Structure 1
Amino acid sequence: MASILSAGTAAPNFTLPVTPDQNLTLSDLKGKNVIIAFYPADWSPVCGDQVTLYNELLPEFHKHDAELLGISVDGVWCHAAFARNRNLHFPLLADFEPKGEVARKYRAYRATEGVCERALFVLDREGTIAWSYCSPIAINPGADGILDALDQLSKKANAHGHSEDAHQQK
């Protein structure tokens, strides 16, 4: 397995397509916690289970003022069909061309297969990696690690006098 970027590292910025005519830039999300879920392929069974679980947990992630981004080397049209099929309510970013460029920055690319590792990153509001985990590619890592990391960030924010409620504009 890859030795992905570890906690304490500044998350590399990137801009990737979300749809054929819309991009998302990581630095635009500064001030929020961000969950980045790299995964190998849209239509693989394990990936399907993983993104469906995260989709169900979106309200929980949003309670922590966290945005979820899914990233694979699939193209935007593949993502669009997969998101529609799974009724996903979070962006799937296409790390398609140059292939795996963003995954490589996070050291989460499997060059032998040409896919992303099943790697998770939780970034704090400043864009620093607070937690990262690389799962065996055939295993759904679930969400416990993400939720634990978000809990820690919330505790840290509350200890520094930042109220979570101030960020709840929804």
Structure 2
Amino acid sequence: MLQKGDTAPDFELNATPDQKIKLKDFKGKNVILAFYPADWSPVCSDQMALYNEMLKYFNKYDAQIFGVSVDSFWCHLAFEENRKLHFPLLADFEPKGAVSKAYGVYDDEVGESKRALFVIDKAGKIAWSYLSPVAVNPGADGILDALEELNKK
């Protein structure tokens, strides 16, 4: 798993059928990547709902959050609509798990992303990372602490 100080690997993933998100387009902004196993699972649903509630706090630190899983963009769109999410979910779908693998958080045994968080600074360096047990919602405290540290610089 990538650690503090590592350069965040660039990627290009679909958020919708006709919208791709490139990490490099967010240089100059803090980025939060929330890797998670699957849409619709109870823990993932709670975790993404929490981040949806935290958007105003993330915005305060000039941070954009993205959820990332190996589900397709069609699955993400249905999940976003059902859960009324207001941030993009990115499909690490094909080649399956390529971005999760680049960040060191792909679970080969089950074919899903592990539950992991990364805060990437405005220069594209990882400022904080955390690997959570798959059955545990990691919450937002670590993210907010990392953003607060970046804000002090």
TM-score (norm. length: structure 2): 1.00
In structure 2, what is the equivalent of residue 90 of structure 1? 87
In structure 2, what is the equivalent of residue 145 of structure 1? 142
Q: List per-residue Cα deviations over 1:10-65 (Å, max 9, x = no partner).
A: 00000000001110000000000000000000010000000000000000000000
Which residue among 59, 77, 81 is the counterpart of 1:80?
A: 77
The unaligned stretches of length 5 or more in structure 1 are 157-170
In structure 2, what is the equivalent of residue 104 of structure 1? 101
The unaligned stretches of length 5 or more in structure 2 are none
Counterpart check, 1:45 vs 2:29: no
Count, aligned residues: 153
User: Aligned partners of 1:11 and 1:41: how far apart in 2?
Assistant: 22
User: Aligned partners of 2:145 and 2:59: how far apart in 1?
Assistant: 14
Structure 1 runs (4+) greater than 3 angstroms displaced: none
What amino acid does structure 2 have at the position aligned with 1:68?
I
Q: List per-residue Cα deviations over 1:102-161 (Å, max 9, x = no partner).
A: 0000001000000000000000000100000000000000000000000000011xxxxx
Q: Give the secondary structure class of the aligned counterpart of 2:34.
A: strand
TM-score (norm. length: structure 1): 0.90
Which residue among 113, 130, 137 is the counterpart of 1:133?
A: 130
Q: Give the secondary structure class of the aligned counterpart of 1:48.
A: helix
Supply the RMSD in Å over aligned alpha carbons. Answer: 0.3
In structure 2, what is the equivalent of residue 64 of structure 1? 61
In structure 2, what is the equivalent of residue 9 of structure 1? 6
